[in-house]
Each structure stands twice: as structure tokens, then as C-alpha cells.
Amino acid sequence: MTSGGIAATNGPIEFTYWKNPGAFKNGIKGLAKAFVQAAFSFGGGEHIAVIAGEVANPRQTIKKTVRPVFWRMFTFFVVNIWLVGMCVPSNDRDLASASGTLGSPFVIAIKRAGVYKLAHVINGFIFLSVISCGITSVYVASRSLTALADMKIIHPFFGRKDSQGRPYVSIIISLGLGGGLCYLNVNSVGVVVYGWFSSLVAIATLFEWSSCYISHLRFREGLKAQRKDLRTLPFKGFLTPWAQYLSLIIVVLIFGCEFYLACWPFGGKGSVKSFFSSYLAAPLFCFDYFAYKFYNNTKIVRAKDMDFSEAHYFDEEERLNELAEQESESDLKKSGTWLKRARYLIFG
């Protein structure tokens, strides 16, 4: 479409819509509003840490998973939105007035191209994505609830498991709450409730990301204070720790934008309702943090007192696995034929 390969566009589009009617509408308020939906949609990559608790070999699994997930999310969200922004103008009437998936910019772009059959295919992909998102949400919610019960933060009832170790109580609760909320769509107030929930989840996601960055920086601070070599870590992130510092600054700036939008919303004066409908997660997070600190009488652990002893088990397991692999390769070289060696190289 952007290069003029579709007859319906009557020639190349390129960055025409970025100039007229413009790519960024309504100034900082428009940008802040977009950040809410972006954080709501983009969150979820950090759930890999939850899944790591149930895999057979978490160190190897996380290594193989983190970077592919990053590039998939980057391609799906950043690259796709970049391209769709070139194909659909910001003042397209369907963006604001169309219902359901018909308001999706992907569907609108395909309709503009005149390929209506492909629009149905995109609707199918959106439907599958919603199902996938629901399954992931139930998994993460049930495991998080179970972890809280195992840590004795909430009642042990929520951590009950069957003979296979599946937390059936938490799964039932997560399915019941998530499935029940879906029926909000049959009521006229569903849009209002969705707005509250999307803002709540978006701000909570920002707190979640900032907590991850701060925890990682504190983790490195603890290793340095205890004179542990950072080069021995089994996994090293790109541009660490500068990437964490930069990301933390960006998140703080987004917090500022959202606070501005909560105090001075679109189309009217600020009120208590407008503030909490946009920024409810912030006071909730602060209340939970300080209430936990006060109730459990915990303090921020100093870097030199951080306990890294639980990592010794995984260090030893990794060392033994490496020794076993070396012995297997050595035996193969001594006794194996060329065919066996080739089979080993290909299939392991």
C-alpha cells in the first residue's frame, strides 16, 4: 500500500498521512493517551520470569526465550504500528466510530486497499490472539496467586494443588473472574469499565517494569558489594546496565505524562473521577508497598547483606551438565563411527 502496489491507493502513500492530517495529534495529551493503550497492549514479556518457575532447565530456557520474544514483540508492535500508521490517517472515521474489530487499524488498512477477504483473515488472527492472551492471563494470574499463598502473604487455601502440582483453586478463581468480566461487553457500561481497567493495567505495567529495572540494578549492586564477578553470570543482557537506566528514565517520563493527563483530561476540567479513572494504580501500588513494609516490618536489604545462596544449586547443576556433555562428546570421538558423530551433531 505505501509503495503504490495496491491499485486502490492510486499511487504511493509513503509518509503522506504523517504530514496530513499528521502523525501526532492533540500534543502531549494525545501522546499520553496513546501510552496508556500501548502499555496495556505491550505488557506481558516479563511473564517469562513466571513461566521459568515451571520449566525443567530455567537457565537454558530463559536464554533461548528472551531474545526471540523481544524481537517478536518488536516486530509485531513497533514495526507493524509503524507500517499501519503509514496506511491509515489519524482522522479516519472508523478509528473512532467503528465497533469491535472493525475499528482495528489493520482491518481499516485492508478495507482501504480493497482486499476485503483479507480483512476476514485479520479478524480471525485477532480472535486467535485474544484467545492466546486469555490463556496466558489465566496462567500468570493463577501462578501469581499461588505464589502469594506459598509465601504466606495470603491464605494458604489459594495455593491448593492437585496430585500433579496444578493450582486448581487459583485456576478456577482466575477463570471465573476473567470469564465473568467478558460479559461486561453485553452492557452499555462495558466501555467505561474497560477504560478504567485498561488504565489500571497500563499504570500497573509501568510499575512492574520499573520494579524489574530497579531490582536488576540492585542485584548487580549486591554482586559487586560481595565481590562477585559479573562476567560469570550465565546470561548477560545487551547494553546492561545502561539499558536499564535508560528504560527507567523513559518509564518515569511516561508516569509524568499520565499524571498530566489524569489532572487535565481531554475535553474538560480535571476531577477526582478523571484522576482515579486514569491513575488509580499509582496510589494502590504505593499503599500496597508501604502496607506490606509496615505489616511485615521489613527493611530494604543492604547490598552486602543480599542472599544469593539459592543460586548455588543451579550453578552446581549447570557444572555437572557441562561435565556430562564433555564426557559424552569424548566417548563419541573415541568409539563412534562417522555416521554416529554426524547423527550426534545434528540431533544431539
- Residue 132: CA atoms inside 13 Å, Cβ hemisphere, count? 7
Contact partners, residue 329, CB within 8 Å, separation at least 6 = 344
Residues contacting residue 46 through CB under 8 Å, at least 6 positions apart: 208, 209, 212
Quick check: 106 and 122 in contact, CB under 8 A? yes
Helix (H, G, I), strand (E, B) or coil at 234: coil
Q: How many CB atoms sit inside 10 A of residue 7's CB?
A: 9
If asked whether residues 281 and 340 sit together in one domain, one would say: no
260 and 329 in a single domain? The answer is: no
Are 282 and 329 found together in one domain? no
The domain boundary residue, chosen from 308, 324, 340? 308
8 Å CB contact between 33 and 254: no
pLDDT of residue 214: 93
241 cis-preceded (ω within 30 degrees of 0): yes
Q: What's the pLDDT score for residue 202?
A: 87
In a domain, 335, yes or no: yes
Q: Which three cell numbers stand for residue 118?
A: 483479507
Number of domains observed in the structure of the chain: 2
For residue 63, tell me if it sits in a domain.
no
- Residue that the C-alpha cell 521459568 belongs to: 52
Residues 267 and 302 in one domain: yes
Q: How far apart are CA 325 and CA 333, in angstroms?
A: 12
Q: Is residue 67 situated within a structural domain?
A: no
Dist CA 145 CA 153 (whole Å): 10
Residue 87 resides in a domain: no
State which residues of the chain have pLDDT below 50.
344, 347-348
* Rounded Cα–Cα distance for residues 39 and 206 (Å): 7
CA dihedral of 28, 30, 31, 35, whole degrees rounded to 10: 130
Residue-level pLDDT at 97:
72
Give the pLDDT of residue 348: 47
The rounded distance, in Å, linking the Cα atoms of 172 and 215 is 31
Whether residues 240 and 319 fall in one domain: no
Are 295 and 318 members of one domain? no
Structural domain range at position 336 = 311-348
- Give strand ranges (E) for the chain: none
The structure's pTM equals: 0.79
